Structure 1
Amino acid sequence: MSRRTLPSLQHLAMQSLLSNQALAVSALEDLPVLLFPSLFMEVYARAHTEMLKALVQAWPFPCLPLGDLAESPDLETFKAVLDGLDLLLAKKEHPNRWKLQVLNLRNEHPNIWIQGYPSMAQISYPDVLTDRPTESCGKMTTVEQPLILLMDLTIKDGAQDAFQGHLLQWVRERQEQVQLCSRKLRILSGSIYKIQKALRVVRLDSIQELVVSKFPCPEVLKTFAPYLGQMKNLHILTFSKMCGSYFTSSSRNGWCSCKFGAQLGQLQHLQELYVHDVCFHYEKPPSILRTLTSLKTLSLSSCLLSEAHLRFLFQCPCTKQLKHLRLRSLSTVCFSLETLLDLLQGVAGTLETLALEDLAFTDVQLSALLPALSQCSQLRFFSFYGNHISMAALQILLSHTAQMGHLRRGLYPAPLESYYPQNQWPWDIHPERFAQVLAVLAQTLMDMRPSHKVQICTKFSHYLNKYRFYTLESNGSWLLTEEHLSGLSTLSL
């Protein structure tokens, strides 16, 4: 006969409180601190709005990590939380006695509600709490410090998220007492009205990661530029699907880009720059990169770049200490291999990740590249898939990378002998020929005994971020997997 688990005294006490909300509200001042997390979790799940308002006002910790309690908060329940904050903000006579300082709507503390009081009491946000404004913001003074809301935002076209829209409006009406901090901001809209409406609410120096996509014309870029210059703590910047207008004069395109570049130069903490499907027409060397400080990560993908662009970029001070470099789907007709070799020789001592993907490199170009590649003594990840090299060239490449002591993972293309010979790129794998290729490669690698994981890529889709790899196992067999590749600085090794 199974033994039933008896409810704990804490659970019984909480159930007793919830059976009489009026009694529970009056008892909050005498409620032990350790009971608050479990009580709040139960009240939130049951949507007891009046009790929620009281719990928010009496919350005994500096932070309320609401984003970890529910991935998609019920809007009506969340409104009760905001009502509780309104009542808290109304107690202006004792602002320094507030316990609650930060409402966190990000999911960054897994299981914290299950862990309860000990973990809840340890949460702190020194990067936010110690960097509050010292100058007046509207009518807000240093005596009345603002309540901080932490939430990652997405500005997009079409129907807006009701939860985010309500929160932005709530903050907009209380900017004297509340500040919205967004560590990650995604702008997926070309509507300058929507962009400005959101950015006027967010504390811009709180943004550490910015994704910008689909700006349709230089005018939007020009209007957005001053906001970018105020993002003083930006670490990661991603541009995608942004093209200068073919119907705009060269002077207009160039002027807007220069204005944008001037703001980009204000970002002294920028470390990672990702540029995908971007083209600034009529421009000489890209002014948006002219004033950058030292970058750790640079990724250029599907961009229309000239020899002058790349040579200028690779000679910039910002690329002298690169740790992660990706060049993907760029036309080698537009730039010479010598330009790339100059860059690799300059960063050979610092580079940890090198991805030269889908560049249509041939055996001749690979041969010229190998001496510079061998100098990259700190390389931990190397990707060369999507290039057009023979089996003999691939074996030579593997012999070079096998000698790199720090290398942990390598992505290589299936050699030309793997495909139907009559087809043009992208070719289809010939099953029998590829099986022979894998057998030869397995024996080659068993003889070389490289310390890094070797993967042969036969199919890839950059749009879907999906890749098919054959990975050599320790027993000499090949394992077929489909993977998604993460960002350069966070690749799984």
Structure 2
Amino acid sequence: MSRRTPPSLQYQAMQSLLSNQALAISALEDLPVLLFPSLFVEVYARAHTEMLKALVQAWPFSCLPLGDLEESPNLETLNAVLEGLNLLLAKKEHPSRWKLQFLDLRNDHPNIWIEGYPSMAQISYPDVLTDRPTENCGSMMTEEQPLILLMDLTIKHGTQDALQGHLLQWVRERRERVQLCSRKLRILSDSISEIQKALRVVRLDSIQELKVNKFWHRETMKNIVPYLSQMKNLRILQFSRMRVNVTCRHKNFSYSCKYAVHLGQLQHLQELYVHKVFFLYGQLPTILRNLTLLKTLSLSSCPLKEADLWFLSQWPCSRQLKHLRLRSLPLDNFSPEPLRVLLKHAAGTLETLALEDCAITDPQLLGILPALSLCSQLSFFSFYGNHISISVLQSLLSHMARLDCLRQGIYPAPLECYPCHERWVGDFEPERFAHVQAQLEQSLRDMGTTQKVQICINFCHHYKYWTFYNLGPDGYWVVTVENLPGLSALPL
């Protein structure tokens, strides 16, 4: 017969306690602190709402991480916790045993309930807050320390998340005693009213990551951008897709200047990703001039002036850039000089470089190649979608093979693989590629490189895929289709 491990005395005591809720609630004042985490998990699993409310009132730790339980809190469970908090907030003075300062609905500590008391006791002041609570936008805080609720927010189109909406309303009604902090905020809607409804509740200086991904009109941006400039601790900004009014160029320029001023106030920004927006044109100096901590810059499908590139080349922060992507920016009519200077300044720090689908030609690449060869820290290089010949591609491969840190390179199929040596996506001819395969194979063998070399023959940014020729260890070329990652997901 197999031996069964007998339940621990602690477990037996907890089960006995929970068999009588009235007795359990009355005993909480004398319950040892180390039993609270395991008791909370058991009460949560059984959905004992009255006991749950009592536990919240007697909780001995500064933070209650609800988001880390096995299942996300549903409305019933959350209501029980909020009712417990309501009882505390209704009192004029905090009970002497009430230590709870933070209700955490994120998933930042996945194992904390398993680890129990030792880990729970170590959570004190969540990293979502860089400063102690201050007066929030639009609400007068009392001298008493407010209760902090931590939750990552998503404002989406259509019906909003019921739990999130309930929480926002709860905070809105108690804004003198409660603050809502959100480290990550995603705006996937163009509804001004829905966006403002959330931004008027959340503590704006708690937001460290902001993702905006929706077709916005100028009017939406005009109403939202003042909130953006108050996100003084923002570290990461991803801004995608904003429509331009093609019939009113003067207003487009005027609005762009206003947007740029607000964006330029985000002085703690470290990562900036901008995709398909009109307001960068001629405004990069205003936006980037004061962003002295920026280390990641991604500009995709945005109209730029050559003067914007010249500013980038002289920008002091170019010497600290670690990740740079310029994608779908037509550079064929631009001088290669600003790009050459930019790469020269960033050569000592760049780890990721993507110059993708920019229509860069042979003369332009040859102009920046010496600076590119200086990028000694480069581990990933992407150059697909550009218009270069087989001879210049061989020269590029030769230079990149000398970079010791480089592990992967993505290159365009040379012009010789297209009819009349014209580069048009979709016109790639495998028969023509067969004629240059031998040259590429010989070049790679002569270099003796261990880098992963991929020849991109097709790509689609909308559906996010690449089509590659990969030279396998057996010497044969294999065609593969792979997902197209964002800059933040590249193999660094």
Match of 2:79 in 1: 79
Residue 291 of structure 2 is aligned to residue 293 of structure 1: yes
The Cα shift of 1:453 comes to: 3.6
Please, which runs of 5 or more residues in structure 2 have no aligned partner?
Answer: none
The number of residue pairs the alignment matches comes to: 490
Residue 351 of structure 1 aligns to which amino acid in structure 2? L
TM-score in terms of structure 2 length: 0.88
Aligned 8 A contact 2:205 2:230 in 1: yes
Separation in 2 of the partners of 1:270 and 1:224?
Answer: 18
Provide the residue aligned with 1:188 in structure 2. 188
Asked whether the 8 Å contact 2:216–2:243 carries over to 1, the reply is: yes
Q: Counterpart in 2 of 1:462?
A: 461
Residue 170 of structure 1 aligns with which residue? 170
Aligned-partner residue type, residue 325 of structure 2: R
Residues 261 and 291 of structure 1 are in contact (CA less than 8 Å); yes or no, is this contact kept in structure 2?
A: no
2:264·2:291 contact (CA, 8 Å) conserved in 1?
yes
Q: Which residue of 2 aligns with 1:64?
A: 64
1:367 corresponds to: 366
Per the alignment, residue 261 of structure 1 pairs with 260
The alpha-carbon deviation at position 211 of structure 1 amounts to 1.6
| Shift in alpha-carbon separation, 1:354–1:423, aligned structure 2, 3 A | closer
| Residues 1:172 and 1:432: Cα distance change in structure 2 (over 3 Å) | same
Q: In the alignment, which residue of structure 1 is the partner of 2:54? A: 54
Mapping of residues 226-245 of structure 1, within 5 Å: 226-245=226-245
Q: CA offsets per residue over residues 435-478 of structure 1, 9 Å max, x none?
A: 78667655643442335443444443333444455666667677
For 2:354 and 2:308, how far apart are their aligned partners in 1?
19
Question: Quick one: structure 1 residues 473 and 51, their matched pair in 2 at CA, closer, same or farther if it must change by over 3 Å?
Answer: farther
CA displacement at 1:382 relative to structure 2: 1.2
2:285 touches 2:311 (CA, 8 Å); kept in 1?
no
What is the one-letter code of the residue matched to 1:111?
N
- The one-letter code matched in structure 2 to 1:65 is P
CA distance in 2, matches of 1:422, 1:402: 26
Listed one character per residue, the Cα deviations across residues 217-260 of structure 1 (whole Å, up to 9, x for unaligned) are 3232222222112111111112210133123350x333322222
Kindly indicate whether the alpha-carbon contact (under 8 Å) linking 1:215 and 1:221 is maintained by their aligned counterparts in 2.
Answer: no
CA deviations 1:16-53 (Å, max 9, x no partner) are 23332222222222223232222222322332211211
More moved, 266-275 vs 283-292 = 283-292
Identity of aligned residues (%): 69
Residue identity opposite 2:99 in structure 1: K
Other-structure match for 1:149:
149
**Residue in 1 that maps onto 2:276:** 277
- Alpha-carbon distance change, 401 to 19 in structure 1, aligned in 2, over 3 angstroms: same
Please say if residues 426 and 458 of structure 2, whose CA atoms lie closer than 8 Å, have aligned partners that are also in contact: no
* Number of the residue aligned with 2:24: 24
For residues 76-225 of structure 1, the aligned pairs below 5 Å read 76-94=76-94, 97-125=97-125, 127=127, 131-133=131-133, 138=139, 140-142=141-143, 144-214=144-214, 216-225=216-225
Asked whether the equivalents of residues 310 and 335 of structure 1 are also in contact (C-alpha less than 8 Å), the reply is no
Deviation of residue 426 (structure 1)?
Answer: 1.9
Give 1:273 deviation, angstroms.
1.2
> Deviation at 1:339?
2.9
Change (3 A) 1:474 1:157: same
C-alpha deviation, 1:405, in angstroms: 2.0
1:304 aligns with 2:303: yes
323-332 vs 405-414, which moves further: 405-414
CA distance in 1, matches of 2:243, 2:142: 43
Distance 1:86 1:455, change over 3 A: farther
Q: CA deviation at 1:389?
A: 3.5
Q: 1:197 offset after TM fit, Å?
A: 1.1
Could you report, residue by residue, the CA deviation over 1:244-303 in whole angstroms, capped at 9, with x for unpaired residues? 3123350x333322222222232211121111011139x644565264322211111111
TM-fit CA distance, 1:133: 3.6
Matching of residues 321-336 of structure 1 within 5 Å: 321-333=320-332, 335-336=334-335
Letter in 2 for 1:228: L
Distance in 2, Cα, partners of 1:406 & 1:350: 12
- Conserved in 2, the CA contact under 8 Å of 1:184 and 1:210? yes
* Native 8 Å contact 2:188 2:213 kept in 1: yes
Answer yes or no: is the 8 Å Cα contact 1:357–1:385 preserved in 2. yes
CA distance in 1, matches of 2:168, 2:461: 34
Residue identity opposite 2:141 in structure 1: M
Shift of residue 377 of structure 1? 2.4
Q: Deviations over 1:92-137 (max 9, x none)?
A: 3226753211111111112222222222222232645672245598
CA deviation vs aligned residue, 1:346-402 (integer Å, no higher than 9, x gap) = 322332221011223344433333112112222222111233444443332222111
Instruction: Return the alpha-carbon distance in structure 2 between the equivalents of residues 396 and 353 of structure 1.
Output: 20
Code of the residue aligned with 1:60 in structure 2: it is P
Query: Pairwise CA RMSD of aligned residues?
Result: 3.1
Shift in Å, 1:431: 6.0
Deviation at 1:150, TM superposition (A): 1.1
Which whole-Å CA distance do the structure 2 matches of 1:241 and 1:465 have between them? Answer: 16
Pick closer, same or farther for the CA change 1:423–1:371 going to 2, 3 Å. closer
Match of 2:375 in 1: 376
